[in-house]
Structure 1
Amino acid sequence: MTSTERGFTTFRWLCTLFGFVFYLGDIGSDLLLSVQYFRSGYVSWAALTLAFVLAGSVCIQIFSYAWFKDDERNDEGDKGLSTCQLIGIHVLQIGLFTRYCNLLKKSFKVLRSGQSKEEEQYRLFGIATDLSMLRLFETFLESVPQLVLQVYIILAHNHRSNLQYISMAVSFVNIAWATVDYRRCLRRSLPHINEMPSGIPTAVYLFYKIFTITPRILSLTLFIMLSTLTTLAMAFVWLVGTIWACVEETKFCTSRVLEHLYRAIVGVILVFTFFNIKGGHTKVPMTMYYILSVCQNLAAPILLFLLKPESERTDYFLPIIFFIFMSNSLGLGFLALYYSLLHPRGHVADEIDGMERLEPEPKTRFDNFLQI
């Protein structure tokens, strides 16, 4: 693929701008919702809503700062920011905001000049890939758990508000955008991997992710409605995913402490969607993952019916059962369609989600990024 085909286009700049707007909208709506809960006397809901926002924000600030310092050591960073400025930016939780502004500014200058070297294009996509990876972390640490919480509040407590629906809608858009934008950015930033085609392949991949993640959100909500103690079972699933990442000895971070944090985030992502950590063939582990996922998704409404039969008389019970069944079927159908016919094939393993270091020192950290 030529450098021109991989160029940072006006459309790519607009995608970055839209991603920035979605990010601000997601965080802003959740903060406003927490304030609304607090003013209405729902202190626990306000605290949980705010806790998810802070958990996602703190984690991505840590990785953002570490990557700034890594780039600085490799003579690839922004020379205009001192260590004190970097620390201040990330303590104030605006590391992602700074990265967005930096990328929009630099790419706008390149587009306006009409000329750019291949090295500049590669660097722009490097910045974009870092940014999209941080957005991916933020999505599974904040947006997805936030949806579980808000759906639980609506179904279990029959509490509804316009701001609540807005927050959920923005979170849903954020999930869809982050998963697809990240995959496209990563594949485009790696010259030895074929780019993810736009159009139908991208749409099918998006549907696969949305229709497999959504029933997970609904089924986990039903489990929590059955008993809040089921959150311990969710914690166990997270622990299993984290242990798997440790056993596989992922090598994503230069710092051992950050590597453990990364593995913990891997565990969170595995609660909601599949990815492979070390590379190789994924047919068997992916099949096993989605068999277990579908069984859990279908078990949730069945157990709710058996243990809380009064739930059958609610107006949401039958629609949710129908949606979980149909969404699982559609999601697995789109998964099969994508990986059998539409997935781009490269000369490296296509199904690597947390790529193993193939050399003592990889050229870039992108070689170790996830491909969910």
Structure 2
Amino acid sequence: MTDGSETAPENQYTKLRWLLTIAGLIFYVVDIWTDVLLALKYFQEKHFVWTGLTLMFVLAGLLVTQIFSYAWYSGDMNDPEEKENVPRMSRGGFAALHVFGMGIFTRYYHLLKQGFKVVWTSNSSSDEEKKAVHHKLFCLAADLSMLKLFESFIESVPQLLLQLYIVMGRTECSVMQCLSMVFSFFNVAWALVDYRRCLRRSLPQTTEMPSGLPTAVYLFYKLCTITSHILSCTLLLILSTYSTIVFTILWLLGTIWAHSLKTNFCSSRGLEFLYRAVIGVILTFTFFNVKGQNTRAEMIIYYLIHSYINMSALILLALFKPELMLSMFLLTVIGLIVGCSVLGLVFLVLYYLFLHPKETEPRVSDEVDGPGNNTRTKTNKRISNFIQP
């Protein structure tokens, strides 16, 4: 068989999944290159502040993902169970690749190479062996999807906010700005769905998120709430650049909350603090379950604050810059904020009431390996301790 058809369909790393991995790589590369080209355009136009900010977000995303990618490789090399999943290379070689920003590309290459052997070549392995191989591929994909999620919220989302602020301030939009925003948006959408599906397929105690309606509703919930919030933040920036203080406070609150939950995602204290800071950035724009606990109350409070900020942006715009309310472009933005806010909350309720997959067994986020729990590899533990959708 070419794709392990004896394995349950939801647990297969299929040819389609392999091709979608290539699509994700393309989105990632194009997103970065459009931002770099846009920065060069700003530089040629002598907009040096915009150049610096555009490149800063690109470099921030690269830096954070390289740090975590190298740390995971380094940790896995010391684990007998995980060492076989690491490409054969010296620690110095890995360090050099990550210094030059090639960590994610290395992971893509390794995943595509291993996946090709499974889905495009014949093999005579037993069902149990095939199941283990497919699970290993989803663990590799989950590591990659976690890094992509980091990158999308550290680079793509802030980039969207910055470019929208520039476009609204100039009331004109160049082709390169459009391309940058479009691919940033697609990169975020892809990262959200890919992470969601890879996470659930790599954790045995959770059921797979069905494709089709549940995936679509989850994606619309995330994209609508994130879009409305980004547009609202853009309006606040147009009103005053001092609004960045508010964003900083929101980031600090998210970081402090992650710290108060005593997350245990990383193997070192320094990396754990960095992880919590990144979680703070993510929570500035959307809600995730930080430690796999029941967070219904926290989610309600979060989206009440979220909605308050969105509505406040519209009210403040009407009070302090009513002349902007006459602009057709800004009227469209206001309509999007209201529409996406309402639709996002509707999709959120629909998803968590009717479509959210249930765990097949209780999840203990702080579970420690023991004699009877030797199936949980370091990758499993890393994934299970990551933020949950």
Q: Give the TM interval when normalised to the shorter protein.
A: over 0.9
CA shift at 1:343, angstroms? 1.0
Structure 1 residue 279 corresponds to structure 2 residue 319: no
Tell me the distance in 2 between the aligned counterparts of 1:330 and 1:91. 42
Determine which of 129, 143, 163 is the counterpart of 2:142: 129
Residue 102 of structure 1 corresponds to: 110
Q: Which amino acid aligns with 1:223?
A: L
| Aligned partner of residue 81 in structure 1, secondary structure | coil
Structure 1 residue 358 corresponds to structure 2 residue 367: yes
Structure 1 residue 71 corresponds to structure 2 residue 113: no
Q: Which amino acid aligns with 1:178?
A: A
CA shift at 1:111, angstroms? 1.3
Determine which of 55, 59, 69 is the counterpart of 1:54: 59
Percentage identity across paired residues of the two chains: 49
Tell me the distance in 2 between the aligned counterparts of 1:235 and 1:95. 29
Determine which of 314, 337, 340 is the counterpart of 2:350: 337
Q: Which amino acid aligns with 2:298?
A: P
Determine which of 307, 310, 315 is the counterpart of 1:294: 307
Residue 98 of structure 2 corresponds to: 90
| Aligned partner of residue 263 in structure 1, secondary structure | helix
CA shift at 1:292, angstroms? 0.9
Tell me the distance in 1 between the aligned counterparts of 2:46 and 2:154. 26
Tell me the distance in 2 between the aligned counterparts of 1:250 and 1:125. 23
Tell me the distance in 1 between the aligned counterparts of 2:147 and 2:367. 24
* Gap change, CA 1:243 and 1:17, over 3 Å in 2: same
What TM-score results when the alignment is normalised by the length of structure 1?
A: 0.95
* 1:270-316: CA deviation from partner (whole Å, max 9, x where unpaired): 00000122233222111111111011111102101211222123222
Structure 1 spans left out of the alignment, 5+ residues: none
| Aligned partner of residue 113 in structure 1, secondary structure | coil
CA shift at 1:92, angstroms? 0.1
Q: How many residues align?
A: 367
| Aligned partner of residue 101 in structure 1, secondary structure | helix
Tell me the distance in 1 between the aligned counterparts of 2:119 and 2:193. 23
Q: Which amino acid aligns with 2:41?
A: Q
Residue 3 of structure 2 corresponds to: none
Residue 36 of structure 2 corresponds to: 31
* 1:184-209: CA deviation from partner (whole Å, max 9, x where unpaired): 00100011110111111101111111
Contact residue 250 and residue 356 of structure 1 kept, 8 A: no
CA shift at 1:159, angstroms? 4.2
Structure 1 residue 227 corresponds to structure 2 residue 231: no
Contact residue 280 and residue 349 of structure 1 kept, 8 A: no
Contact residue 87 and residue 110 of structure 2 kept, 8 A: no
Tell me the distance in 2 between the aligned counterparts of 1:120 and 1:59. 29
| Aligned partner of residue 13 in structure 2, secondary structure | coil
Mapping of residues 201-280 of structure 1, within 5 Å = 201-280=214-293
* Gap change, CA 1:275 and 1:121, over 3 Å in 2: same
| Aligned partner of residue 36 in structure 1, secondary structure | helix
Contact residue 264 and residue 385 of structure 2 kept, 8 A: yes
CA shift at 1:51, angstroms? 0.2
Residue 144 of structure 1 corresponds to: 157
| Aligned partner of residue 17 in structure 2, secondary structure | helix
CA shift at 1:356, angstroms? 2.6
Tell me the distance in 1 between the aligned counterparts of 2:362 and 2:75. 26
Tell me the distance in 1 between the aligned counterparts of 2:263 and 2:324. 43
* Gap change, CA 1:159 and 1:245, over 3 Å in 2: same
RMSD: 1.5
Structure 2 spans left out of the alignment, 5+ residues: 1-5, 371-375
